[in-house]
Amino acid sequence: MSDSVPASHQPHPYPGKLIIVEGIDGSGKSTQLLLLQKWLESREHKVFFTEWNSSELVRDTTKKGKKNKSLTPTTFSLLHATDFASRLFHEILPPLKAGMVVLADRYMYTAFARDVVRGVSPSWIRKLYSFAIRPDLAFYFNVPIDVAVSRLLGGTRANLKFYEAGMDMGFCQDINESFRIFQSRILTEYDKIVPEFDLTVMDATKDIETQQSEMRQVVEKALVNYKTKRGTHGRRTLFWRRFDLPKSE
Amino acid sequence: MEGGRYFGDGLTYLNPSDLKGKLVAIEGTDGVGRSTHIESLQEWLEIQGYGVVTTGWTRSNLMSKTIEMAKQGNILDRWSFSLLYATDFADRLEHQVIPALRSGFIVLADRYIYTAFARDLVRSGDRKWIRDVFGFALIPDLVCYLRIDVDTLALRVIESNGMNYWESGMDLRLGTDLYDSFKKYQGLLIEEFDKMAEEFQFEVIDARKSPDDIQDELRTKIQSMLAAEKSLNAVVP
């Protein structure tokens, strides 16, 4: 535990594979991850899905803090780290140790981008997450802010939420404009994170199916020496019933 | 405080240099009578005309219920365990402690970051991560450590409330029953507190003495800290 190089910078020692997606809201990353999951499952891989800020441990607290707007940049950040720690321990590590493919919708890089824009120290947030394991593959869905905004306002999520739009930052009273400013700053942070952690950049302006085909090629390469777990074929119900199915954006 | 200082990275969006009040932390293991002493200290300070605010471990609006729930489930890993406490601490720091210090209050903290350091170390053997996490905390003006030996502590806890699961560190499986586990766990915590007492220059107070003697010692330490502040202010107009 007291190694000088944190776990978050070293390859993990487990037989499974961890694949994560990152990107701002409206980048289409969740859609791509869902399609990847379909493909992996069709190829008989045992897949486990987990998403940002979804653990029961802190869900109610985050909701409460958001509702009465009492969250500060630091408590906001710590709550997400608690959620992440809990999911890492209970959801990500067990399937990885069992040799499964774990798909994560957002990972620590989301905190590195978003929490820093909210105002926490970039070095503190990296130390906070030093217990995280490094993914085998990390995709970043790069999209210009205008495309993301038009996707979100045009259909998939017409009503932006207070925190999603960074309204807590007091950039602007207009929620759509606030969203634009907030997400643009997050994009700037992602631009620093991509080289720092060697994320695989995807052009998220391309067609859904074009992106998916590129993504599958990259994953295929990464899984070359990976042995599929087939032991529980057809009998995954017991393990799965306890978890929610993935939701698309 | 006169220019508060952060323990580590700090809150980048909050300059601590204008904090006028004083931050006093009372540390020590379970069952040394911290809360009773803090009540008496508050009374004593208020009679002298000082504004006093108290803050206690896990007592934030945001987190107290969540922590209770998590403890009941007994499903906490080391990181979530420590991060829940860090979130509670941050909420109190930003909503109670810092506003009070800015207005010139004396803040009496029942437990401080050192409790989290000791508990995390016992669970992980690693000092670095937890100290990084609490880098946003303010360094107290005074830390009083109520020190007790584990044998006296065991007797005292059995006589009062009895030993519970978490005070006994049962999640660590250090002993076969509550008593063995309690002694090992609290023993390890005391060992770490003793080390930190030197590293961070705690004022160590023997908690085996009578409550009156302990209270007197606490008052002496606080009084001299306040006096030192006054003389400092006299030099710099």
The pLDDT tens digits of the residues spanning A24-51 come to 988 999 999 999 999 999 999 999 999 9
Size of the A and B interface in Cβ pairs below 8 Å: 91
A222 confidence band (pLDDT: 50, 70, 90): very high
C-alpha–C-alpha distance, residues B144 and B201, integer Å: 9
CB-CB contact of B6 with B101 (8 Å):
no
Query: What's the pLDDT tens digit per position in A187-200?
Result: 999 999 999 999 99
Cross-chain Cβ contact A2/B127 below 8 Å:
yes
List CB contacts of A23: < 8 A, sequence separation 6 or more: A29, A140, A141, A142, A143, A190, A204
Nearest neighbour of A78 by CB, restricted to B10, B83, B129: B83
Q: Is the pLDDT of residue A244 over 60?
A: no
Determine which of B6, B12, B72 to mutate to test the interface with A (most A C-beta atoms within 10 Å): B12
Is A132 in the B-facing interface, judged by CB distances under 8 Å? Answer: no
Is A117 in the B-facing interface, judged by CB distances under 8 Å? Answer: no
Query: What's the pLDDT tens digit per position in B163-196?
Result: 888 888 888 888 888 999 999 999 999 999 999 9
A156 confidence band (pLDDT: 50, 70, 90): low
Which range among A9-13, B40-44, B79-83 has the greatest average pLDDT?
Answer: B40-44
Among the ranges given (A56-70, A117-131, B36-50, B61-75), the one the predictor scored with the smallest mean pLDDT: B61-75
Interface of B with A (CB under 8 A): 8-13, 61-63, 65-66, 70, 75, 77, 79-80, 83-84, 86-87, 90-91, 94-95, 124-129, 132-133, 135-136
Q: What percent of chain B has pLDDT over 70?
A: 95
Nearest neighbour of B13 by CB, restricted to A64, A73, A81: A73
Residue B33: the pLDDT is: 87
Residue A3: the pLDDT is: 46
Write out chain B residues lying below 8 Å of A81, CB-based. Answer: 83
Residue B237: the pLDDT is: 45
Task: Kindly report the pTM of this predicted structure.
Answer: 0.88
- Arithmetic mean of pLDDT over chain B: 91
Q: Measured between CA atoms, how close is B69 to chain A, in angstroms?
A: 8
Q: Measured between CA atoms, how close is A176 to chain B, in angstroms?
A: 25
Residue A240: the pLDDT is: 43
C-alpha–C-alpha distance, residues A176 and A73, integer Å: 21
Residue B107: the pLDDT is: 98
DSSP A91: I
Nearest neighbour of A78 by CB, restricted to B75, B90, B126: B90
Q: Between A238 and A62, where is the model more confident?
A: A62
Residue A123: the pLDDT is: 96
Amino acid identity at A99: G
Q: What would the mean pLDDT of A78-82 be, rounded to a whole number?
A: 95
A67 confidence band (pLDDT: 50, 70, 90): confident
Amino acid identity at B55: T
Exposure b/e, B133-144, CB count within 10 A at least 16 = b: bbbbbbbbbbbb
Q: What would the mean pLDDT of B121-135 be, rounded to a whole number?
A: 95
Q: Measured between CA atoms, how close is B95 to chain A, in angstroms?
A: 9
Among the ranges given (A106-120, A229-243, B87-101), the one the predictor scored with the smallest mean pLDDT: A229-243
Query: What's the pLDDT tens digit per position in B136-155?
Result: 999 999 999 999 999 999 99
Is A247 in the B-facing interface, judged by CB distances under 8 Å? Answer: no
Element at B212 (helix H, strand E): helix B211-235
Q: Is the pLDDT of residue A238 over 50?
A: no
The residue of chain A nearest to residue B88, with distances taken between CA atoms, is A75
Per-domain residue ranges of chain A: 17-222
Query: What's the pLDDT tens digit per position in A89-146?
Result: 999 999 999 999 999 999 999 999 999 999 999 999 999 999 999 999 999 999 999 9
Among the ranges given (A19-23, A210-214, B162-166), the one the predictor scored with the smallest mean pLDDT: B162-166
Residue A242: the pLDDT is: 43
Cross-chain Cβ contact B87/A123 below 8 Å:
no
Residue A2: the pLDDT is: 42
Q: Which residue has the tokens 């969006």?
A: B13
Nearest neighbour of B13 by CB, restricted to A71, A119, A127: A119
Residue B228: the pLDDT is: 87
Q: What would the mean pLDDT of B208-231 be, rounded to a whole number?
A: 93
Q: What percent of chain B has pLDDT over 90?
A: 70
Following DSSP, what letter does each residue of B47-98 receive, concatenated?
HTT--EEEEETT--TTTHHHHHHHHHHT---HHHHHHHHHHHHHHHIIIIIH
Per-domain residue ranges of chain B: 16-149+201-221
Among the ranges given (A56-60, A94-98, A158-162, A187-191), the one the predictor scored with the smallest mean pLDDT: A158-162
Nearest neighbour of A124 by CB, restricted to B9, B94, B124: B9
CB-CB contact of A204 with A141 (8 Å):
yes
Residue A55: the pLDDT is: 84
Nearest neighbour of B87 by CB, restricted to A82, A89, A127: A82
Q: What is the CATH number of domain A17-222?
A: 3.40.50.300
Is A54 in the B-facing interface, judged by CB distances under 8 Å? Answer: no
C-alpha–C-alpha distance, residues A63 and A120, integer Å: 21
Q: Is the pLDDT of residue B64 over 60?
A: yes
Residue A171: the pLDDT is: 87
Residue B2: the pLDDT is: 61
Write out chain B residues lying below 8 Å of A85, CB-based. Answer: 77, 79-80, 83
Q: Measured between CA atoms, how close is A69 to chain B, in angstroms?
A: 11
Q: Map A207-222 to HEC letters.
A: CHHHHHHHHHHHHHHH
CATH 3.40.50.300 fits B16-149+201-221, yes or no: yes
Q: Which of residues 137-176 of A touch B (CB under 8 A)?
A: none
Nearest neighbour of A1 by CB, restricted to B61, B70, B126: B126
